[in-house]
Amino acid sequence: MKALLFERDVPRFAAARIAGTLGGGRGARVGPLRLADVDPPVPPGEGWVRVRPRLAGICGSDLATIDARASRYFEPIVSFPFVPGHEVVGDLDDGTRVVLEPVLGCRARAIEPPCPACASGELGGCERVAFGHLAPGLQTGFCADTGGGWSTALIAHESQLHRVPEELSDEDAVLVEPAACAIHGALRVPDRSPTVAVIGAGTLGLLTIAALRRHRTPGTVIAAAKHPEQRRLAKELGADVVAEPAELLRAVRRVTGSLALGDGPVRSLTGGADAVVDCVGSATSLAAALAAVRPRGDVVLVGMAGEVRVDLTPLWHREVRLAGAYAYGTETVPGGGGPSRTARTFDLAFELVAEARLGRLVSARYPLDRFTEAVRHAADAGRRGAVKIAFDLRGEKERNR
Amino acid sequence: MTAPRRARRPGLVLETDRSTPPMLFHHGEGFRLERLPVGSRVIYPPEPVEPLPDPDEAIRQALLHPIDSDPLPALLHPGMKLTIAFDDISLPLPKMRRPDIRQRVIEAVLDLAAEAGVDDVHLIAALALHRRMTEAELRHCLGDRIYDAFAPHGLLYNFDAEDPENLVHLGTTDRGEEVEISKRAAESDLLVYVNINLVAMDGGWKSTATGLASYRSLRHHHNVHTLQHTRSLMDLRRSALHQSNWRMGEVLRKAGVRIFQIETTLNNDTFPAPFDMLQKREWEWTARDRATYIATEAALRRAPRRLVRSIFHGIEAPHQMTSVQAGEVEAVHARTLEHVHAQQLVHVEGQTDVLTLGLPYICPYNVNSVMNPILVMCTGLGYFFNLYRNKPLVREGGVLIMSHPTPWEFHPVHHPSYIDFFEQVLAETTDPAEIEAKYEQAYATDEWYIHLYRTSYAYHGVHPFYMWYWGAHALEHLGGVIVVGGDPRAVRRLGFKPASTLRDALEMAEDVVGRDPSVTHLHAPPLLLAEVT
């Protein structure tokens, strides 16, 4: 079958790293990712089914992997070679359209009893992602045994699958996974925070804004967005104030009525936003988040960070809470006037995608053959006025045989 | 009192033909030579008026023989409170060579005060909501002797429009305009105001009613409605802004504020060597002038920006005093205007479809600072557009073409609220009325801006709004504004259109005013005032 395969290849890895520094996504041409004809993955046991992807998104973590920028932290929890692609809408053999919940937790790995996190429905916190009868892999798309979305077929455990309602398009459905990540991050922000800043307005940032609006009733949402189309969408999805990243501190100051310390360029505030959601995960964005948050406020790191160099003095001095937000699990959300309810993050994501018509964020689709173009487009999405770039497998001959 | 002196040569309206050399356009911290279409008009300012032969003696005579007032010595007595207020760093432009005219006048006033035994004297820089003057700027303006005698004792200081303890509300005009000014000035036995009337807009009641006033007072005339009905800022008779100031003057008078107004005028000898060719008419440039221009332009293009800026802001104009008059505010000001007009007035027949301007590196609000995009707008649409009497140089629906690099750059110490205004307000709207209604109050009362205005060297939070309102009449009048050679992003943020060359700009203008438009170039600075009939 046809797949994009990511192999452990040190020279190519080094080439990708160099190419990646010249421009995002350039690692696709020279790095360990290649189009290959591979054997279909074999189900490891009961409860596994074949999924034939229809659309598979390209995510920031994929780009980091392709450009060899991902942290070595992941080494023990991925297995090579793997087929990337964890944002997937596909078909089962019986024609059922499904979205993949890619975390490979205890159930998928046939581990009994499940770890405490899986037992409580907090799938993202699974302690066994490198154990069980599957090769290590925190998610489908990083595991050698399951295949991934950037191919004509993968295998998935039935616990990973969510049926797609008919009214949702494939474009809507492919955004369910990132929407779930965004919801999980947004729910780390205290409810009814008067001011929340969101740094970054790529897919994750935009979805976080939408998630905050749906689940958190913030007073004012300030979005830091680099590109014009991102700024437009940020407003449309619920940001009250949209600023360029360099303007964020000033915008936060204006909204919160804080003072800035010193004269000249604004580098630190006396107050700040009650919460800042960092959807970028770079040293710059994290430093901006720490500068923009008020004393004893919350910084939520939704974007995948790597090794960063950041001055943590403000975190210490202002007693800021810094929390990561990875993947999804089970959430408790306000009940809209009634009692709060508990739901799986993916269920909330389906609601959000439908309500906010998020499928419109899919800006371009590429066949697997044009993967270098697709990756470059995804890396330059903001600058090129795009948001989500996806592989479109619906026309692949092998898939439809 | 002498009749105004005449300029060496009067102003001129030139019609270009094929032999007309390219025209000099100021272009921020640089210049451009542009060839105008044949048949364009170029308005040149009059050449500098002959200065007073003995300025110190002229000052003494003005103080001893004032207009509609007792001589100054008769108003001075021991035990009295004397306050001397003076125009701030926004005047003159460029700053003049030492001794500054204010130093000459204030030294003369202080000599008389000392002779009269007056020992309670305060000197206040009447800066309204402008930034505070630094020690170096005060020393340049007043001289070391005055600075060293007064500043260390806290007797020479910048006006603080946000110090409620030192403001006093004196009443309201018959239109409900509140008059709140410096308490020290209002409660003095005599307020001596020392002005420099660089343009016709300056002076009169505006000196005190604006220079020493708080936001509470200023908002009554520094607003969109008033500025849209100010036609022009340089024409006292048709300026709603001045009429408001004059009404406030009446309140000051009725409240018993005793003012001895000293107004001065300068000739328009603006640029020293090697920049003096900037005030010559191009066809009179010598070979040396041309060589100087080429060398200067090339050097400026290659030099680091910081160096270029320091060269320009280091320019000290050879301005010289052409008149000084003292006494009752309105009578003095009427005489002052005669002198300003003698230096600057040029008669121009008929309006134009397209007016071109070359904006210089400086305006009243970026002395030793950055000409940011908002100041570019204000200089072009607020000041240069308003250099007219009777009717604007450009017809209603016409196009203004300005040449300026318009960098997306701000001085973070001097203009903090400008940055926010540019990032927040102009990103939303450029409509002055909407801006005023939606944002002014928040900026005017922002605690951080107030803090920086009072303790650092920042213009008040509301100041960028006033800059925008200054252009409100032009925005309403014009069919389009094009900026040549500006940063396209910054120009678009201002709501204007960018063009890379004058030729492109003229073509773009034709979309608004039609084919073969009439074109007029305002050849300034040096400044002039067009009497358009």
Structure tokens at B62: 């003005």
A383 within a domain of the structure (yes/no): yes
Q: What angle do CA B174, B180, B184 make, to 5 degrees?
A: 135
Task: Tell me what percent of the residues of chain A surpass a pLDDT of 90.
Answer: 91
User: Which residues in chain B are contacts of A241 at CB distance < 8 A?
Assistant: 424
pLDDT at site A305: 86
Both A47 and A84 in a single domain?
yes
Nearest residue on chain B to A253, alpha-carbon basis: B448
A334 within a domain of the structure (yes/no): no
Best CA proximity match to B43, nearest among B307, B267, B357: B357
- A–B: how many Cβ contacts below 8 A? 35
The distance of A246 to chain B (nearest Cα, Å) reads: 10
Nearest residue on chain B to A269, alpha-carbon basis: B448
pLDDT at site A306: 84
Both A214 and A84 in a single domain?
no
pLDDT at site B76: 98
3-class secondary-structure state, position A384: coil
Query: Is the Cβ pair B458, A264 closer than 8 Å?
Result: no
Both A23 and A149 in a single domain?
yes
pLDDT tens-digit readout, B155-170 = 999 999 999 999 999 9
User: Which residues in chain A are contacts of B457 at CB distance < 8 A?
Assistant: 263
User: Which residues in chain A are contacts of B419 at CB distance < 8 A?
Assistant: 250
pLDDT at site A303: 86
Name the interface residues of A facing B (CB cutoff 8 Å): 241, 243-244, 247, 250-251, 253-254, 257-260, 263-266
Average pLDDT, rounded, for chain A = 95
User: Mean pLDDT, to the nearest integer, of B121-149?
Assistant: 98
Task: Tell me what percent of the residues of chain B surpass a pLDDT of 90.
Answer: 95
Nearest residue on chain B to A231, alpha-carbon basis: B427
A211 within a domain of the structure (yes/no): yes
Both A173 and A117 in a single domain?
yes
Query: How far is A324 from A185, CA to CA, in rounded Å?
Result: 8
Work out the pLDDT band at B277, boundaries 50, 70, 90.
confident
pLDDT tens-digit readout, A25-79 = 899 999 999 999 999 999 998 999 999 999 999 999 999 999 998 888 999 999 9
Total tally of structural domains belonging to chain A: 2
Any idea what the CATH number is for the domain that residue A231 is in? 3.40.50.720
Both A224 and A371 in a single domain?
no
Query: Is the Cβ pair B412, A250 closer than 8 Å?
Result: no
User: Mean pLDDT, to the nearest integer, of A115-140?
Assistant: 94
Query: Which of A308, A324, A340 corresponds to the end of one domain?
Result: A324
Q: Which helix (H) or strand (E) holds B270?
A: none
Task: Compute CA distances B489 → A251, A340, B406, B479, whole Å.
Answer: 20, 47, 9, 20
**Domain residue spans of chain B:** 12-48+344-532, 55-266
3-class secondary-structure state, position B138: helix
Work out the pLDDT band at B62, boundaries 50, 70, 90.
very high
Q: Is the pLDDT of residue A240 over 70?
A: yes
Both A95 and A165 in a single domain?
yes
Q: Is the pLDDT of residue B110 over 90?
A: yes
A339 within a domain of the structure (yes/no): no
CATH number for the B55-266 domain, one of 3.90.550.10, 3.30.410.40, 3.40.50.11440, 3.30.360.10?
A: 3.40.50.11440
Q: Is the pLDDT of residue B33 over 90?
A: yes
User: Which residues in chain A are contacts of B448 at CB distance < 8 A?
Assistant: 253, 258-260
User: Which residues in chain B are contacts of A259 at CB distance < 8 A?
Assistant: 447-448, 451
Query: Is the Cβ pair A258, B413 closer than 8 Å?
Result: no
pLDDT tens-digit readout, B504-528 = 999 999 999 999 999 999 999 999 9
User: Which residues in chain B are contacts of A232 at CB distance < 8 A?
Assistant: none
Bridge partner list, B179? B171
pLDDT tens-digit readout, B476-502 = 999 999 999 999 999 999 999 999 999
Query: Is the Cβ pair A263, B424 closer than 8 Å?
Result: no
Both A225 and A283 in a single domain?
yes
Q: Which of B423, B448, B456 is the closest to A243 by Cβ?
A: B423
Go through chain B and tell me how many residues it has: 533
Both A124 and A263 in a single domain?
no
Tell me what ipTM this predicted complex has: 0.85
Nearest residue on chain A to B455, alpha-carbon basis: A263
Task: Tell me what percent of the residues of chain B surpass a pLDDT of 70.
Answer: 100
Query: Is the Cβ pair B448, A264 closer than 8 Å?
Result: no
Both A66 and A172 in a single domain?
yes
Query: Is the Cβ pair B451, A259 closer than 8 Å?
Result: yes
User: Which residues in chain A are contacts of B446 at CB distance < 8 A?
Assistant: 254, 257
Q: Which residues neighbour B310 within 8 Å (Cβ) at sequence distance 6 or greater?
A: none
Query: Is the Cβ pair B423, A247 closer than 8 Å?
Result: yes
Name the interface residues of B facing A (CB cutoff 8 Å): 412-413, 416, 419-420, 423-424, 442, 446-448, 451-452, 456-458
User: Which residues in chain B are contacts of A264 at CB distance < 8 A?
Assistant: 412-413
pLDDT at site B447: 96
The distance of A265 to chain B (nearest Cα, Å) reads: 5
Query: How far is B373 from B495, CA to CA, in rounded Å?
Result: 11
Radius of gyration of chain B (CA): 22
Of residues A303 and A157, more confidence is placed in A157
Interface test with B, best of A254, A261, A269 (most B CBs within 10 A): A254
Q: Are A184 and A325 in contact (CB under 8 A)?
A: yes
Work out the pLDDT band at B51, boundaries 50, 70, 90.
very high
Q: Is the pLDDT of residue A340 over 90?
A: no
User: Which residues in chain B are contacts of A247 at CB distance < 8 A?
Assistant: 423
Query: Is the Cβ pair B416, A263 closer than 8 Å?
Result: yes
Over the range B12-46, which residues count as b (16 or more CB within 10 Å of their CB) and which as e?
eebebeeebeebbbbbbbbbbebebeeebbbbbbb
Q: Which of B420, B448, B456 is the closest to A259 by Cβ?
A: B448
Query: Is the Cβ pair A258, B448 closer than 8 Å?
Result: yes
User: pTM of the prediction?
Assistant: 0.91
Q: Are B137 and B89 in contact (CB under 8 A)?
A: yes
Q: Which of B420, B452, B456 is the closest to A250 by Cβ?
A: B420
Query: Is the Cβ pair A257, B451 closer than 8 Å?
Result: no
User: Which residues in chain B are contacts of A243 at CB distance < 8 A?
Assistant: 423-424
Residue labelled with tokens 């990540």? A181
Write phi, then psi, for A199 (nearest 5 degrees). Answer: -100, 120
Query: Is the Cβ pair B447, A260 closer than 8 Å?
Result: no
Work out the pLDDT band at A250, boundaries 50, 70, 90.
very high
Both A146 and A16 in a single domain?
yes
Q: Is the pLDDT of residue A213 over 90?
A: yes
Range of the domain at A252: 189-324
Go through chain A and tell me how many residues it has: 401
Nearest residue on chain A to B409, alpha-carbon basis: A265
Best CA proximity match to B259, nearest among B424, B392, B158, B126: B126
Best CA proximity match to A182, nearest among A388, A390, A337, A389: A388
Q: Which of A244, A257, A263 is the closest to B458 by Cβ?
A: A263
Query: How far is A169 from A353, CA to CA, in rounded Å?
Result: 10
Both A74 and A160 in a single domain?
yes
pLDDT at site B2: 65
The distance of A221 to chain B (nearest Cα, Å) reads: 15
Work out the pLDDT band at A339, boundaries 50, 70, 90.
confident
The distance of B446 to chain A (nearest Cα, Å) reads: 7
Query: Is the Cβ pair B420, A265 closer than 8 Å?
Result: no
Query: Which of A324, A341, A375 corresponds to the end of one domain?
Result: A324
The distance of B453 to chain A (nearest Cα, Å) reads: 10
A284 within a domain of the structure (yes/no): yes
Over the range B142-179, which residues count as b (16 or more CB within 10 Å of their CB) and which as e?
bbeebbebbbeeeebbbbbbbeeebbbebebbeeebbb
Any idea what the CATH number is for the domain that residue A23 is in? 3.90.180.10
Q: Which of A243, A254, A263 is the closest to B413 by Cβ?
A: A263
Q: Give the sign of the dihedral formed by CA B439, CA B444, CA B448, CA B449.
A: positive
Q: Which of A251, A257, A263 is the closest to B456 by Cβ?
A: A263
Query: How far is B201 from B192, CA to CA, in rounded Å?
Result: 20
Query: Is the Cβ pair A250, B419 closer than 8 Å?
Result: yes
Work out the pLDDT band at B1, boundaries 50, 70, 90.
low
Query: How far is A301 from A279, CA to CA, in rounded Å?
Result: 7
pLDDT at site B3: 77
Residue labelled with tokens 């009613």? B209
A331 within a domain of the structure (yes/no): no
User: Which residues in chain B are contacts of A226 at CB distance < 8 A?
Assistant: none
Domain B12-48+344-532 has CATH 3.90.226.30: yes
A336 within a domain of the structure (yes/no): no
Both A269 and A370 in a single domain?
no
User: Mean pLDDT, to the nearest integer, of B144-161?
Assistant: 98
pLDDT tens-digit readout, B412-437 = 999 999 999 999 999 999 999 999 99
B12-48+344-532 matches B55-266 in fold: no
Q: Which residues neighbour B154 within 8 Å (Cβ) at sequence distance 6 or greater?
A: none
Least confident of A13-22, B60-69, B480-489: A13-22
pLDDT tens-digit readout, A373-401 = 999 999 999 999 999 999 999 998 877 76
Nearest residue on chain A to B454, alpha-carbon basis: A263
Nearest residue on chain B to A245, alpha-carbon basis: B423
Query: Is the Cβ pair A263, B412 closer than 8 Å?
Result: yes
Work out the pLDDT band at A94, boundaries 50, 70, 90.
very high
